[in-house]
Homo-oligomer: A and B are copies of this chain.
Amino acid sequence: MSGSSTLESPIGVFDSGVGGLTVLRALRQALPDESMLYLGDTARLPYGTKSADTIIRYALQATAVLVERGAKLLVIACNTASTYALDALRDRYPHLPVIGVVEPGAATACAASRNGRIAVIATEGTARAGAYDAAIRRLRPNAVVTSAGAPLLVGLAEEGWFEGPVPEAVARRYLAPLFETGSAAENGNPPDTLVLGCTHFPLLRTAIQAVVGLDVALVDGGMAAASLAAEALAARGLAARSGMLPATRFLATDGAERFARVAQHFLSFPIDASMVELVDLQGIAAVAA
């Protein structure tokens, strides 16, 4: 925590773009008394195709801004940055509690699954990196994990095209191979749990649930991270006093208009471009600890 933060200081939320707003929404639900400061690095997205070193540098720059503005706890909403930058951020900011989305999502999946067969859909980068596979197996060594990239679902979410035949058809194409008995799933038992391993996917929850059926648990890493953030704030005695008026503020590195337009799909309230402050991360020295 920076020296200037107090109980009323905001939770910092960092993402490569707008997808992390589903995590912000989950945080606002779990922690209605907390102020939030969201930073979307819209100028440099997507992170999924970049090298680990680059992602760490970007994450250090974004965190420098959030810490400078008093963030008392950091949530890395971006799956890719959670995978690569968590340790570097903790080393660089030894006074800041840092929470990613991958480990909490994996923990909820391990807790929610009955048969230990867990499917994961993610961006291609996250799927290829096998981040959820590794995190799940650390917690539940016997788990059978199958994962796939589902990039078109990101586009559908940003367009606000959440329900109906098109999103269901797209979701079915990605999901069918993961749930086919006798192929990826062993012993004829399909997965009973599906991790939504990209921050955009919770917006398509209804379509996805329709495709996989009601018996499959859908795990939203953002909700899991919000729950863990609440635990961490309580344990540290950092929770805001209730009754204080919390504020949510938005920072982006490019395209305030588009950010505001797309953000409305992700949040339960409208925002306009004047509410989005542009910041420049390029010039910030990203010095690891």
Binding site for B on A (CB under 8 A): 1, 87, 90-91, 93-99, 103-104, 107-116, 138-142, 189, 193, 214, 217-220, 223-224, 227-232, 234-237
Interchain CA distance A187-B96 in the complex, whole Å: 18
What residue in chain B is nearest A94 (Cβ atoms)?
Answer: B115
In the complex the two chains form, is A90's CB within 8 Å of B232's CB? no
In the complex the two chains form, is B218's CB within 8 Å of A142's CB? no
In the complex the two chains form, is A103's CB within 8 Å of B139's CB? yes
Q: Which of A107, A109, A230 has the most CB of B within 10 A?
A: A107
Given the known interface contacts A90-B140, A227-B227, A231-B224, the answer about A96 and B111 at a Cβ–Cβ threshold of 8 Å is no
A32 CB to nearest B CB, Å:
16
The residues of B that contact A236 with a CB separation of less than 8 Å are 112, 193, 217
What residue in chain B is nearest A220 (Cβ atoms)?
Answer: B235
This chain: how many copies in the complex?
2
What residue in chain B is nearest A237 (Cβ atoms)?
Answer: B214
The residues of B that contact A138 with a CB separation of less than 8 Å are 138-139
In the complex the two chains form, is A227's CB within 8 Å of B231's CB? yes
Which residue in B111, B223, B224, B231 is a CB contact (below 8 Å) of A99?
A: B111
A113 CB to nearest B CB, Å:
7
What residue in chain B is nearest A93 (Cβ atoms)?
Answer: B114
A119 CB to nearest B CB, Å:
13
What residue in chain B is nearest A223 (Cβ atoms)?
Answer: B231
The residues of B that contact A234 with a CB separation of less than 8 Å are 223
Interchain CA distance A103-B104 in the complex, whole Å: 11
What residue in chain B is nearest A142 (Cβ atoms)?
Answer: B87
In the complex the two chains form, is B114's CB within 8 Å of A229's CB? no
In the complex the two chains form, is A96's CB within 8 Å of B112's CB? no
The residues of B that contact A91 with a CB separation of less than 8 Å are 142
A11 CB to nearest B CB, Å:
12
Which residue in B94, B113, B189, B224 is a CB contact (below 8 Å) of A116?
A: B94
In the complex the two chains form, is B103's CB within 8 Å of A232's CB? no
In the complex the two chains form, is A112's CB within 8 Å of B1's CB? no
Given the known interface contacts A95-B115, A97-B114, A231-B108, the answer about A217 and B237 at a Cβ–Cβ threshold of 8 Å is yes
